[in-house]
Structure 1
């Protein structure tokens, strides 16, 4: 009889154990979660929080952003990238979901989740009931307020009652403390979880020509390394609904998408032309009617001499096919060198500028500003970068004394660069000499001594295409005192009609040379009176153009990200404010680009 009573007591105890939910009211305080239908809003005991995705209804099943809700239920979440399984667990319950499957496990026991779990914009969506029912929580639908009330206990469960596994064995917690002499156990790092993509806009609808402000709110457990936008525009110029998508990728290659509709009404704030002229960033470009530019008033101006300045343009032969002397001439005082070459030899080369003193006294050479672009495979890039670095350069002078009858390598910043096959180099460099010196441009294979090789090197002829020679009075100063900006106008530069080309000579052949485009010439343009709200832009008229300008002492690339591709584009150099301004522009025509160019002056529409 005693044995039967014991068995009955144990059976009753086991039944009571199985009846206790994982989240018992006795173990913790009461808990109420409110899930708003078709909304991201959720409430945890009255405290509002936002889920990563709004709830969705599919065939009568409510799906929720699982991670958002689980975190409030005190559950940890891990992801196995190989099996595409998600584990949600606390002290007593472990749920395992498999992506795109309606079957899941509760403490290892197979169960039906009613609906297949899926990913929405980077968030795992699971049936709400499948997540909360195993925790002993109940659901109640409040149709009037469009919400689901989830009731149960607190997620804090001290000393929870173990749940039997499907094999009928009850897990027993260890009663023996670990041996302190055992080696420490290395914790298994958590599996990488996919990122959560999300962004918001500052408004729900916009007028035509109104800026859209996007705020990226994406997150990831290990950091996002790549962000891609599809159909994202700062402004829209046609009414309608536009779907903008954000894709984010984490360090291990997992990615997630998030899409949002932007609504554009029929109301017009700005036309595209107005918007481009008002808001295109300094250094960026906008489309323009190429033919209309030629209808702008062409401004007349006088070119003033800027003092003694010798320019040696070292640009022919432009393509390097052999070792040799590429140019040589005698100059003194302020000397500038413009070098532009591409190496087409099968071996790397170096370019040296050698100064030889043929005087009876020592000659002092002092270096000035220098800017080098390259080596690069992109011709326009070397020209733009060399000019930008030259314009920003400082006169950190290096002085060299050359004894009578001797030669020295000068401007070693150039010869320090090895020019590999197919690469292009451009350099602007200034020197000042106390007496005349013969300057020789020498190209030799990398590793060869140019001073030893120079007497045996051939003098290479002019290539018949690219200018090579010496040009005096190379710099130009232009001052416009008339008021600009009241109506569209343009200033034509380096075109031979409004702005004549430099005339010079090739010292090696004795032939006259024309510096078409005035490459290497420094321009200083002073605009005494630019009206308020005037746009100053650059329009390339000879083809593509990529250069740099100093506008009131501030460097502006043309363009910052690319180049002006043709005459149907204009790049923004400057905008005046609410008062008349004096504007100074300093530049030199960029090597690798086409001339002429136009400075254009456009009145701006009123900003709303």
Structure 2
């Protein structure tokens, strides 16, 4: 039997606009998710003469105090609906307040009500007051599994509603039974939760397409907001030997940012290099990467900074004990200095340098809330207390990239320390570790590249990596020159001013395996989305939209801005390669 015959889609009722306005205007109408998730008794409290009320202790504001009609306290139905997560709608039969197990129908100015198909006589009539249905207080016992207590001294009404049992969610999906190699596959998720909402979906075997013939089993299960799991449902998909698209053809048409696939690296290297306008400037770079692998406590690097700067830290614990990194900032001047920590990315501990190197760059591009510190004269402070919580076991490493701004001179000391060592006490006592690798201070490290020619008309490329003299700096601990050949810690901003509609942009590494991240128009793209990408592979990082119809299509296509920073353990050069969208319609 085919999937479409297994079930019918759930039909959702539409709420009457007037009721929605009433609920929204008083802050109700949204299910109290925490209450539903806990499945604990729900307590609703009112105070006569006050607009305030609480649902399970959470304060709410009503538009007016509880009305009293002929000596009878009236309760707005919206409060009950909000507390139990009921849907409220109206039709020719009346006003309905429905949960999975309890369905109530009320009619204005009538004592008769319907609960789960049974007729119920209320002590007083349900009444519309200011556009909202109300019921007498005593009716809550008849219409819901509830009790109430009135405290005359406090003028307080407490209603306790017993929770309904949870109904597990239902997992259901539709998918084709037979597809070709490289054929796009649409999965229709038809799962639902009868009395709550689905908060998590788990799949196995699901792919957007398949590139090997055979039979693939896809399973699905879902979880609701009470933690209940559905039964597992499955379906087999047969993939024939007929080819619709190769991996390259498929991902260039339907790929998402971060998808990787095989490319002709030699051919792409022959593509025309785009014309550029370039400049350098930006932040001073403080690089602590030598020794990359340390074998005990000691000073990794120390230097002074007094302007807009960026710290690049990349180290691994080579000892047989657990160690941590710490950065201490010292003010040796006569006036206080304000230090602002801007964008930052910290990653680790991990045994995979590619993993923590790429994660640090991705988190840096994701932006951070600024943090300010005042460093008084003659004092020291820990730059990032959270860094000390990253404890590295033997062979684990860490990478960090962070912007710092200051209005005076400060000394930054990066140290490897034992877990219990106090960084402030250690900063004046630790000995310098042997330099193995690169470290130092570098000026004007950020690169700005503007491309004004139209890209995406024909194949073309932009190569990053040593687009000029090598990045040279000074090691403050030795006084000697140092070279940052990988341009680690530097940020390159590429502005593509004229990108043809439909253009595909991929990143292709040229110096071995690569795992990193870029920012494209402010959005972080992992390169690739999983694992790493090789010289013979490319990762899609951006697809320019297709040209829209009408007047909108006569406007220039959007500009594209790409930001790149070399992740630790990956190397330059890389290529940004531009492909015409017309080839993949």
CA distance in 1, matches of 2:229, 2:528: 33
Give ranges in structure 1 of 5+ residues lacking alignment: 1-38, 42-47, 52-194
Structure-2 separation of matches of 1:40 and 1:551 = 42
Equivalent in the alignment of 1:418: 391
- Correspondence for 1:274: 249
- 2:452 aligned to which of 481, 495, 508: 481
For the residues of structure 2 that align with 1:587 and 1:483, how far apart are their CA atoms?
Answer: 21
**How much does 1:419 deviate?**
2.6
The answer to whether the 8 Å contact 1:329/1:439 transfers is yes
* CA offsets 1:236-276 (integer angstroms, 9 cap, x no match): 568x8x4232457999999989664636585x754543222
Q: Distance in 1 between matches of 2:456 and 2:203?
A: 40
Identify the residue that residue 576 of structure 2 maps to in structure 1. 599
Matched residues in 2 for 1:348 and 1:236: separation?
44
RMSD over aligned CA atoms reads 3.6
Given the superposition, is the C-alpha separation of residues 255 and 396 from structure 1 closer, same or farther in structure 2, using an over 3 Å criterion? closer
Structure 2 counterpart of 1:589: 566
Conserved 8 A contact 1:236-1:264: no
Distance 1:531 1:219, change over 3 A: closer
Alpha-carbon distance in structure 1 between the residues aligned to 2:481 and 2:275: 28
Task: Name which of 430, 440, 458 aligns with 2:431.
Answer: 458
**Does 1:439 find its partner at 2:412?**
yes
Distance in 1 between the 2:290 and 2:583 partners? 50
Does 2:518 align with 1:549? yes
Change (3 A) 1:208 1:505: same
> 1:118-137 to 2 correspondence within 5 Å?
none
Q: 1:228 to 1:306 in 2, by over 3 A?
A: same
Residue 135 of structure 1: aligned partner: none
Once residues 563 and 407 of structure 1 are traced to their aligned partners in structure 2, the CA distance between those partners, rounded to angstroms, is 40
Measured in 2, the distance between the counterparts of 1:440 and 1:49 equals 68
* Shift of residue 563, structure 1, vs aligned partner: 2.2
Q: CA deviation at 1:233?
A: 5.3
- 1:484 Cα deviation (Å)? 0.6
Deviation at 1:40, TM superposition (A): 7.7
What TM-score do you get using the length of structure 2 for normalisation? Answer: 0.62
Indicate how the Cα distance of structure 1 residues 336 and 263 shifts in structure 2: closer, same or farther if over 3 A, else same.
closer
The one of 288, 296, 310 aligned to 1:314: 288
Map 1:236-275; keep pairs closer than 5 Å: 242-246=214-218, 260=236, 262=238, 264=240, 270-275=245-250
| Aligned match for 1:534, one of 503, 506, 522 | 503
| 1:167 alignment counterpart | none
Partner of 1:139: none
Q: Post-superposition shift, 1:459?
A: 1.4
* Superposed CA offset, 1:37-86 (max 9, x none): xx689xxxxxx9759xxxxxxxxxxxxxxxxxxxxxxxxxxxxxxxxxxx
In structure 2, relative to structure 1, the CA distance for the partners of 1:356 and 1:275 (3 Å cut) is: same
How far 1:437 sits from its partner (Å)?
Answer: 2.0
Name the counterpart of 1:342.
Answer: 316
Deviations 1:420-450 (A, max 9, x none): 3222111112222222222221222111123
Does the CA contact (< 8 Å) of 1:492 and 1:499 recur in 2?
A: no
Q: Does 1:503 align with 2:469?
A: no
Provide closer, same or farther for how the CA distance between residues 412 and 215 of structure 1 changes in structure 2, counting only shifts above 3 A.
same
Residue in 2 aligned with 1:305?
Answer: 280
1:544 Cα deviation from its structure 2 partner = 1.5
Unmatched 5+ stretches in structure 2: 8-168, 548-555
Change (3 A) 1:271 1:321: closer
TM-aligned CA distance change 1:200 to 1:352, over 3 Å: closer
Report how many residues are paired. 410
> Take 1:236 and 1:367, find their aligned partners in 2: how far apart are those partners?
46
Highest CA radius of gyration, 1 or 2?
1
Contact 2:275 2:452 in 1 (8 A): no
Q: Once structures 1 and 2 are overlaid, which stretch shifts more, 405-414 or 591-600?
A: 405-414
- Which of 384, 395, 398 is residue 372 of structure 2 equivalent to? 398
Aligned partner of 1:467 among 435, 438, 443? 438
